Amino acid sequence: MTRNYALFLGCYIPSMQPFAEASLRRIAPLLKMKLIDMEGATCCPVPEIVRLVDYDAWLYVSARNLALAESEGEDILALCNGCWETLHEAREAIVSDPELLTEVNSHLSLFDKRLEGKIKVKHFLEVIVEDVGLQSLKASIKKPLSNLKVGVQYGCKLYKSPESKFVTYFDNIIETLGVKAIEYGAEKLCCGFPLSLYSLDEAMEERAKFKLAKMQEAKVDCLVTACPGCFDVLEKAQLLLKRQDLHYEIPMLSLTELMALSLGFRPQEIGVDKHRVKTDALIAKLGMVGN
């Protein structure tokens, strides 16, 4: 049975990481997922900025995005950890407080929108494990990636899921794909994203540099993450730290890209060959050169 989802891409993926979206759109039909674009959706908005500055603004903007999905009658699929956090926490706050719900709807009425809390906010990991199912994912694999050694970057926000279940789901998916996850000793360390909003240089020095060095020591073939914020910081860090004569050259993949490769798509179909941190060695190891 095909399941429908209101797709919430957030800001980073459409503007800087189109390969994450491209790979999701490629694998969705194979996994019996129909993605419905949310026309008029805005930034979630990012909690590290908006919620700290103006909680009400954060809540009302989130509520409008939720109302857009509710008008489609479908649960939200969030591909971004930060978007999931904002939309999930805003929804929980609103639907658990009748007075707040009334107040929010008074603001939404200015846009001819209304929120009742009928839909849920689901992270991509949650959809794959709980809705699609790991057995269905396994049955869709066309190219085993058992020769691939990856360093997993979970991202802080996955630990905010109930009992950190999204971290376990990430591991479950990696295991189902047959990929070997290499322990590098800094899996739980923040990539530096929130700090990068203040100072990218400090984020690189205090977080990213250490993580990348640990992965390099562990000799991973690539870094895999489900978080656009983590991807952004660790990618920029690899490029900018060359100024210090530090050359990590660790290819990076979004989880959707890793899944798409395993489900038989060529790197060129989803943009793996267009990353700023070169993926040539990774593509060669997968035996996909020239495909």
Q: Is the pLDDT of residue 44 over 70?
A: yes
Which one-letter DSSP state was computed for residue 276?
S
Count of alpha carbons within 13 Å of 177, Cβ hemisphere only?
27
Domains detected in the chain:
3-125 (1.20.1050.140), 134-285 (3.40.50.11810)
Residue pLDDT, tens place only, 54-99: 999 999 999 999 999 999 999 999 999 999 999 999 999 999 999 9
Say what percent of the chain tops pLDDT 90: 87
**Closest by CA position to 248, among listed 281, 270, 217:** 217
The pLDDT, as a whole number, for residue 51 is 87
Q: Which of 84-93, 197-206, 234-243 has the lowest mean pLDDT?
A: 197-206
The string of DSSP letters for 120-143 reads -EEEHHHIIIIII-HHHHHHT--S
Whole-angstrom distance, CA of residue 85 vs CA of residue 95: 16
Q: Which of 179-188, 191-200, 203-212 has the lowest mean pLDDT?
A: 191-200
Tokens of 74: 């479908």
Mean pLDDT, to the nearest integer, of 220-234? 95
For residues 230-245, b (16+ Cβ closer than 10 Å) or e, as one string? bbbbbbbbbeebeeee
**What are the C-alpha distances in Å from 267 to residues 39, 40, 159, 190, 286?**
29, 31, 30, 28, 10
Residue 223 dihedral angles phi and psi, to the nearest 5°: -105, 135
Position with higher pLDDT, 12 vs 220:
220
Mean pLDDT, to the nearest integer, of 214-243? 95
**What are the C-alpha distances in Å from 256 to residues 4, 68, 90, 263?**
18, 25, 26, 10
Q: Is the pLDDT of residue 290 over 70?
A: no
Tokens of 27: 């694998």
Count of alpha carbons within 13 Å of 18, Cβ hemisphere only?
7
The pLDDT, as a whole number, for residue 291 is 46
Average of per-residue pLDDT values in the chain: 94
Q: Is the pLDDT of residue 241 over 60?
A: yes
pLDDT band at 200 (very low <50, low <70, confident <90, very high): confident
Q: Is the pLDDT of residue 289 over 80?
A: no
**In residues, how long is the chain?**
291
Mean pLDDT, to the nearest integer, of 161-170? 96
**Closest by CA position to 64, among listed 33, 28, 104:** 104
Cross-strand pairs, 152: 224
The contacts of residue 125 (CB under 8 Å, 6+ apart) are 158, 166, 169, 170, 173, 226, 255
pLDDT band at 106 (very low <50, low <70, confident <90, very high): very high
Mean pLDDT, to the nearest integer, of 5-27? 96
Quick one: 58 exposed, middle or buried, by C-beta within 10 A (0-12, 13-18, 19+)? buried
pLDDT band at 196 (very low <50, low <70, confident <90, very high): confident
Position with higher pLDDT, 132 vs 47:
132
The pLDDT, as a whole number, for residue 50 is 86
